[in-house]
Amino acid sequence: MGKPNDLVQGTLGLLILKTLSLEPKHGWAIAKRIQQISNDVLQVQQGSLYPALQRLEQQGWIRSKWAETETGRQARFYSLTAAGRAQLEKEREMWSRLSAAIDLVVDA
């Protein structure tokens, strides 16, 4: 099963925000990107992306609009809002603090 562990699931939002910080993407591209970058370690269950996207949009951190893909098909593209960028910084910082702490405990 490609289910990510709980820790990663909790940070799915962070992953999405980070992925979108470079350029607007549609859902499938986000999933692919996360998979690629993490060298296939983070096997996000692809479908669970969509509830997360809806939640982020409801929070006002991302924005969506329908546009054509390279193949000429209509798809929903997500982009980061200014508030989303700030949120990304916040979550990124929290994540570093958390992982540093875990490192300390694990390496001790």
Interaction between residue 4 and other proteins (CB under 8 A): no
Look at residue 26 and give its three-state secondary structure: strand
The helix (H) or strand (E) run that includes residue 68 is: strand 62-68
Amino acid at 20: L
| Shortest separation between residue 93's beta carbon and other proteins, angstroms | 19
Contact pattern for other proteins over residues 72 through 91, marking x by CB under 8 A: -xxxx----xxx--------
How many distinct helices (H) and strands (E) make up the chain? 5, 3
Interaction between residue 65 and other proteins (CB under 8 A): no
| Shortest separation between residue 92's beta carbon and other proteins, angstroms | 18
Taking the mean position of all CA atoms in its chain, how far away is CA 1?
20
Interaction between residue 54 and other proteins (CB under 8 A): yes
82/11 Cα distance (integer angstroms): 20
Interaction between residue 92 and other proteins (CB under 8 A): no
Q: Which residues would be at the binding site for other proteins (CB under 8 A)?
A: 2, 26-28, 31, 45-48, 50-55, 57-61, 63, 66, 73-76, 81-83
